[in-house]
Structure 1
Amino acid sequence: MEKPREWLREKSIAKKILSEADVVFEVVDSRIPLETRNKVVEQLAKERNKKLYIIINKADLVPPEFAKKAKEIIQKEYPVVLFSAHKNRGKKELNRVIKELSKEKKLIKIGVLGYPNVGKSSLINTLKRKKVATTSPKPGMTRGEKLIKLYKNVYLIDTPGIITLEFQDDLALKGSWIPEKLEYPVDVALKLIEKIQENRPEALKEAYKVEPEQEPLKTLEKIGKQLNYIKAGGEIDLDRTAKKVLWDWIKGNIKAYWI
């Protein structure tokens, strides 16, 4: 299985932004906060002695006690802000952090980094109070970096999603890879279903009105049947069902989460 060709280019983008930025806001997905931490970004920030904050975005997709637990774990290493662009949550706290940072230098640039689809652009638009960054549930929509003026001495650097050194299947599980681009979407959907069944099986029942089976393949077949994704000859279209499940995960329609 090939690793995304883009990773080298994106590692160089990350390096460039980390040399330009004074501070890094690493955005992670509240549903899988540890899995969406980008170790390459964190390592590069450490090497360059840059202040790094972790913004746990999409906090509205998880229960408050889960978000609090994730914050406590990550806070042992970095300062954390719980945020929801969708519900406008955490904006005051983040603005307070930005105001504090802006006192340190005449001009401050904050690099906003993270995997595709963790909500970097939504975060920027919420802070700016208007649409300046492209948002889409399609991973990888931001093309190239942009400098966005937030206050007279504070700029945000909007970046494409950084997908360093990983397999497409792993990225798809993070919601950071378009299902249509996967060679074997069924394999990835089965891995995802297995994760969901381990951590919050009722999420599948809520999303698809099916009782999960022990075997992820049987669960996927049940979902396909329920969605009426049937091929000519009466066979369940597993490929189509798998892509639907992966898209539902990307869009936050499956209410599962884990640490």
Structure 2
Amino acid sequence: MEKPREWLREKSIAKKILSKSDVIFEVIDARIPFETRNSVVEKLAKERNKRLFIIMNKVDLVPESFAKKVKKEIEKEVPVILFSAHKSTGKREIENLIRKLSKENRLIKIGVLGYPNVGKSSVINKLKGKKVATTSPKPGMTRGEQLVKLAPNVFLIDTPGIITLEFQEDLALKGSWIPEKLEQPVEIAQKLIKKIQEKRPEAIKESYGVEPSQDPYETLKRIGERLNYRVSGGEVDIDRTAKKVLWDWIKGNIKAYWI
């Protein structure tokens, strides 16, 4: 499977933002925290001696006990702030950090990095208190970088999602690739369903009202039947169903999470 052609461009963006920034906020998805940590970003930050903080966004989509467990684990390496752009969780903690940084009597730039769709723009808008960054459930909606003023001497640098060296399939499972752009949406939706069935099988029934099968393809078929997605002739439209499941994952409509 072809790796995204954009990865070289994205890596160069990461390097550019890292070189411009004094502090890095790496935004990750609380549902799949370890899968949305970007090893390239973290390695580059470490090599350049940048202060790194992980903003674990979307904590409203996971149980509090799960979020705290993940925070404790990641904090063995990097400080973590639990955040929900939707519910304003963690906003005060970040504001306190920014206040502290603003006392350094020099211009401070904070680079905000992370995979597409982890909610970087939502975090920025919440901190600014108004919409200054593009938000969309479509991964990759931020185009180019922009500076956002948070204090007289503290600025955030909003950036496009950093995808680095991964295959479309891996990005799709992270919710970082638009389903319509996938060559094999059915295959990838089956992999996602298999993962959900392993980690939190009740999420399928909660989201679609169907009992999952041991066979992910059969589960996908049951979901299509329940949604009444049909092709001419009455067969289940499996392609449309697969894309719907992948979009539901991107939008946070499937309540599954794992370490």
Normalising by structure 1, we get a TM-score of 0.99
For structure 1, the residue ranges without an aligned partner over 5 or more in a row are none
Provide the residue aligned with 2:175 in structure 1. 175
Residue pairs, 1:194-213, within 5 angstroms = 194-213=194-213
Provide the residue aligned with 1:249 in structure 2. 249
* Cα distance between partner residues in 2 of 1:120 and 1:47: 23
| Corresponding letter in the other structure for 1:139 | P
Structure 1 runs, 4 residues or longer, greater than 6 Å off: none
* Cα distance between partner residues in 1 of 2:119 and 2:205: 26
Q: Percent identity?
A: 76
Provide the residue aligned with 1:117 in structure 2. 117
- Shift of the 248–80 alpha-carbon distance from structure 1 to 2, 3 Å rule, reads same
Contact conserved, 2:116 with 2:176, CA < 8 A, in 1? yes
1:94-137 alpha-carbon deviations (Å, 9 max, x no partner): 11111222223511000000000000000000000000000000
Contact conserved, 2:116 with 2:139, CA < 8 A, in 1? yes
Provide the residue aligned with 1:59 in structure 2. 59
Which moves more between the two structures, 173-182 or 234-243? 234-243
Matched, 1:81 2:81: yes
Residue pairs, 1:77-226, within 5 angstroms = 77-226=77-226
* Cα distance between partner residues in 1 of 2:4 and 2:200: 30
Provide the aligned C-alpha RMSD in A. 0.7
For structure 2, the residue ranges without an aligned partner over 5 or more in a row are none
* Cα distance between partner residues in 1 of 2:163 and 2:205: 31
Provide the residue aligned with 2:18 in structure 1. 18
Which moves more between the two structures, 97-106 or 43-52? 97-106
The offset of 1:243, in angstroms, is: 0.1
The offset of 1:54, in angstroms, is: 0.3
1:147-193 alpha-carbon deviations (Å, 9 max, x no partner): 11111010000000000000001000000000000000001100000
* Cα distance between partner residues in 2 of 1:100 and 1:75: 20
Provide the residue aligned with 2:234 in structure 1. 234
The offset of 1:79, in angstroms, is: 0.3
| Equivalent position SS for 2:44 | helix
| Equivalent position SS for 1:42 | helix
* Cα distance between partner residues in 2 of 1:204 and 1:223: 9
| Equivalent position SS for 1:127 | helix
The offset of 1:233, in angstroms, is: 1.6
1:182-236 alpha-carbon deviations (Å, 9 max, x no partner): 0000011000000100011111101000000111111001001111111112211
Contact conserved, 2:196 with 2:256, CA < 8 A, in 1? yes
1:66-114 alpha-carbon deviations (Å, 9 max, x no partner): 1101101111100000000000111001111112222235110000000
Provide the residue aligned with 2:27 in structure 1. 27
| Equivalent position SS for 1:160 | coil
* Cα distance between partner residues in 2 of 1:83 and 1:93: 9
Provide the residue aligned with 2:39 in structure 1. 39
* Cα distance between partner residues in 1 of 2:15 and 2:72: 28
